[in-house]
């Protein structure tokens, strides 16, 4: 087992990792930018090293500084959390070369999943359902038009280096394919330096359902059930829940098997997530594989009673997993509380939290790094906390969420709490009739102001 882990991250996830390390008897090293000197992760870790100025590119993303911090503190592993360097193949490789265990995927796995078109081919070859479309990359506009004719409109053009919606265009006809061919490629080239595109049949009003998996160094892979992340705005998840209200026992078995196949296909080590699109007839298709711990791992922990960070660390140190698949017990919902103004296009609202009071009681979990007097810096993402409720049924978890949101006091900055309060009241949400289209169609501003 590791003696000392450096946490290459900040905020709630840095605290989350420190807590598990403490329970496992592993020493911790925090790294921080000048803007985070007063952060709790700095205070709670056994040691802390300043790695640069406020800007991420000069601190949390600066590989040489992080490696140097690991070496001077004699850390034997690095946990990257999510975001920042968590899916950076080069960083994973440099850790390897310096004899530091990267608690995450191997460089070749990150690279393989980072290129969406080749990831799709890997999955298709492994027998995981994929969306009908081009074989690999589109060669030309003529090729794109030909593929679109074969699979039938509507189609979607996607950047192979993409993810999160960048360089992605829905096309209803040939004219739109022509426009997308130049605009999407331009966007992808500017964003990723890679304008490779592929095409798929457009799935109308899909659900985003992802399966948590774990794989060990001995080649065993298991699934830890699903999360429904269909409540998204511009590819930002706002609410996640498990089990999915759309799930059936039969579908979970099929999707779980597919996710395990996906993990085995890349000899996956660690915890990861296989994302699927699910259509109204419960056909499901591989979308992406994430090779990191995710923001929403919390809800899975609550329904399977399992510490996923602990599992990550155990796997990285070579301990085998049990190999058993998990069914969710009860229901968990997570609302992301962001320092953003939902009435103003979710514009970030950094600044000082003047008053802070957390909800409590049975079935409430809050993962956060903030406290009264904390100043949310403008340099990083705007998540303040994750509010999770756990109950025996979905209905009870929603009721508990309404109660908790009502108790939550955060003053000094605008937050997404009022948005979540309105969402919890929505009949479509309460009925679990949620697709990725839901937030586009719901006039939440009108409901929030009435
Ligand atoms: C799709 C799709 C419909 N059909 N692919 C969005 C992010 C990227 N990872 C894949 N995405 C989509 N791919 C086909 N063939 C619809 C989306 C999509 C979406 C997916 C998951 C969650 C939210 C979404 C919001 C808009 C579009």
Across residues 422-426, what is the average pLDDT? 98
Task: Indicate if 190 and 214 belong to the same structural domain.
Answer: no
Does 301 share its domain with 212? yes
Q: Tell me if 63 is assigned to some domain.
A: yes
- pLDDT, position 316: 98
Angle at which helices 141-151 and 174-192 pack, to 10 degrees?
A: 120
Cis peptide leading into residue 115 (ω within 30°) = no
- Residue 165: band (very low, low, confident or very high) from pLDDT cuts 50, 70, 90: confident
Q: Is residue 437 part of a domain?
A: yes
H-helix or E-strand spanning residue 190: helix 174-192
Average pLDDT for the chain: 97
Could you tell me the pLDDT band of residue 163, with boundaries at 50, 70 and 90?
confident
Q: What is the CATH number of the domain that holds 389?
A: 3.30.470.20
CA 389 to ligand 1 centroid distance, Å? 27
Nearest Cα to Cα of residue 297 among 237, 256, 245 = 237
pLDDT of residue 343: 97
Predicted pLDDT at 146? 98
Average the pLDDT over 262-280 and give the result.
97
Which positions ≥6 away from 36 have C-beta within 8 Å? 10, 42, 377
User: 235: Cβ below 6 Å to ligand 1?
Assistant: yes
Considering the domain boundaries, does residue 114 fall inside one?
no
**Are both 227 and 328 inside the same structural domain?**
yes
Last residue of a domain, one of 149, 179, 201: 201
Is 87 a pocket residue for ligand 1 (Cβ < 6 Å)?
no
Region 244-263: mean pLDDT is: 98
Q: Find the largest Cα–Cα distance for the chain.
A: 61
Residues 360 and 226 reside in one and the same domain: yes
Locate all alpha helices (DSSP H) within 290-385, ordered by sequence. 297-304, 308-316
Active-site residue numbers? 292
pLDDT digit string, tens, across residues 337-358: 999 999 999 999 999 999 999 9
Do 139 and 77 lie in one domain? The reply is no
Write out pLDDT tens, residues 204-231. Answer: 999 999 999 999 999 999 999 999 999 9
Q: From CA 259, how far away is CA 127, in angstroms rounded?
A: 10
Number of domains into which the chain is organized: 3
Shared-domain flag, residues 261 and 362: yes
Chain center to CA of 393:
24
Average pLDDT over residues 380-408: 98
The reply to whether 173 and 153 lie within a common domain is yes
Let me know: does 421 contact 359? Beta carbons within 8 Å. no
**Are 364 and 428 found together in one domain?**
yes
Residues 165 and 291 reside in one and the same domain:
no
* Structural domain for 314, as ranges: 207-449
Q: Is residue 188 in some structural domain? A: yes
**pLDDT tens digits, residue range 15-41?**
999 999 999 999 999 999 999 999 999
| Same domain membership, residue 213 and residue 164 | no
Ligand 1 contacts CB of residue 131 (under 6 A):
yes
289 and 181 in a single domain? The answer is: no
CATH classification of the domain holding 178: 3.30.1490.20
Does ligand 1 come within 6 angstroms of the Cβ of 436?
A: yes
DSSP state of 203: P
pLDDT of 164 > 80? The answer is no
Distance (Å, rounded) from C-alpha 243 to C-alpha 229?
A: 11
CA–CA gap between residue 89 and residue 95 (Å, rounded): 10
3-class DSSP state of 321: coil
Taking only the tens place, the pLDDT of each residue in 58-95 is: 999 999 999 999 999 999 999 999 999 999 999 999 99
Tell the residue nearest (CA) to atom 25 of ligand 1: 436
**Domain assignment of residue 111, yes or no:** no
């Amino acid at each position: 087992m590791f003696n000392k882990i450096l946490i290459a991250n900040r905020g709630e996830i840095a605290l989350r990792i420190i807590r598990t390390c403490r329970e496992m008897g592993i020493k911790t090293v925090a790294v921080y930018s000048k803007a985070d000197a007063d952060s709790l992760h700095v205070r709670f870790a056994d040691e802390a090293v300043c790695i640069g100025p406020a800007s991420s590119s000069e601190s949390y993303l600066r590989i040489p500084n992080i490696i140097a911090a690991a070496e001077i503190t004699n850390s034997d592993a690095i946990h990257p959390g999510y975001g920042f360097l968590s899916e950076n193949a080069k960083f994973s490789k440099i850790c390897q070369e310096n004899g530091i265990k990267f608690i995450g995927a191997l460089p070749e796995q990150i690279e393989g999943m980072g290129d969406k078109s080749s990831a799709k081919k890997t999955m298709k070859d492994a027998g995981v359902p994929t969306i009908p479309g081009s074989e690999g990359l589109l060669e030309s506009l003529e090729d794109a038009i030909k593929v679109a004719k074969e699979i039938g409109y509507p189609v979607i053009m996607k950047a192979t280096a993409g993810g999160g919606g960048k360089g992605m265009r829905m096309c209803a006809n040939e004219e739109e394919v022509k426009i997308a061919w130049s605009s999407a490629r331009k966007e992808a080239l500017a964003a990723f330096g890679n304008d490779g595109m592929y095409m798929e049949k457009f799935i109308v009003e899909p659900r985003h359902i992802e399966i948590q998996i774990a794989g060990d160094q001995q080649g065993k892979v298991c699934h830890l059930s699903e999360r429904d992340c269909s409540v998204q705005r511009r590819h930002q998840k706002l609410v996640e829940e498990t089990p999915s209200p759309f799930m059936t026992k039969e579908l979970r078995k099929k999707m779980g098997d597919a996710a395990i196949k996906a993990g085995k296909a890349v000899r996956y080590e660690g915890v990861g997530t296989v994302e699927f699109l699910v259509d109204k007839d419960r056909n499901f298709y591989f979308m992406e594989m994430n090779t990191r711990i995710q923001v929403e791992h919390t809800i899975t922990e609550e329904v399977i009673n399992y510490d996923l960070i602990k599992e990550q660390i155990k796997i990285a140190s070579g301990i085998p997993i049990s190999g058993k698949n998990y069914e969710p017990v009860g229901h968990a919902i997570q609302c992301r509380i962001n320092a953003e103004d939902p009435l103003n296009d979710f514009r970030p609202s950094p600044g000082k939290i003047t008053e802070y009071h957390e909800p409590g009681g049975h079935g409430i979990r809050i993962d956060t790094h903030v406290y009264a007097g904390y100043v949310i810096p403008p340099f990083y993402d705007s998540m303040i906390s994750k509010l999770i409720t756990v109950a025996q049924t979905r209905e009870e978890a929603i009721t508990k969420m309404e109660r908790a949101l009502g108790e939550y006091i955060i003053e000094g900055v605008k937050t997404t709490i009022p948005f979540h309060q309105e969402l919890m009241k929505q009949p479509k949400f309460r009925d679990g009739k949620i697709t990725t289209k839901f937030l586009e169609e719901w006039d939440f501003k009108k409901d929030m102001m009435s």
